[in-house]
Amino acid sequence: MSTAKRRRRKKQNKGLTFIGFVVVVFCVCVGIRTAHLKSQSAALAERRETLEKQLDSEEQRTKRLEELEKYMKTKKYVEDIAKEKLGLVYPDEILIEPSNK
């Protein structure tokens, strides 16, 4: 082979080596980024699950509060509070208290 052909091959080999190096670096960067995104995705999935549980809990609490609100608007609630807190009774009721010994 002539010297000119050898020089061309060396340049081609250097170019191919450089391209190969760039491809390897790119693949490593993509792999690292993929691993990071997977871990981030797992963390976000866990957080989403936690927030969904919290949302369910708050929805149940809201239902209980709505039921309590409905109960508090009834005549039965007013009677129960009047008897319990104020000791009031209807005129025809007889209050029997246990004797303390």
**Sign of the torsion angle spanned by Cα atoms 56, 59, 63, 64:** positive
Domain boundaries, the chain: 7-85
Region at 89 (left for phi over 0; alpha for psi -120 to 50; beta for the rest) = beta
What's the pLDDT band for 5 if we cut at 50, 70, 90? low
The pLDDT tens digits for 64-98 are: 999 999 999 999 999 999 888 888 888 887 777 77
What is the tally of helices (H) and strands (E) in the chain? 2, 0
The pLDDT tens digits for 8-67 are: 777 778 888 999 999 999 999 999 999 999 999 999 999 999 999 999 999 999 999 999
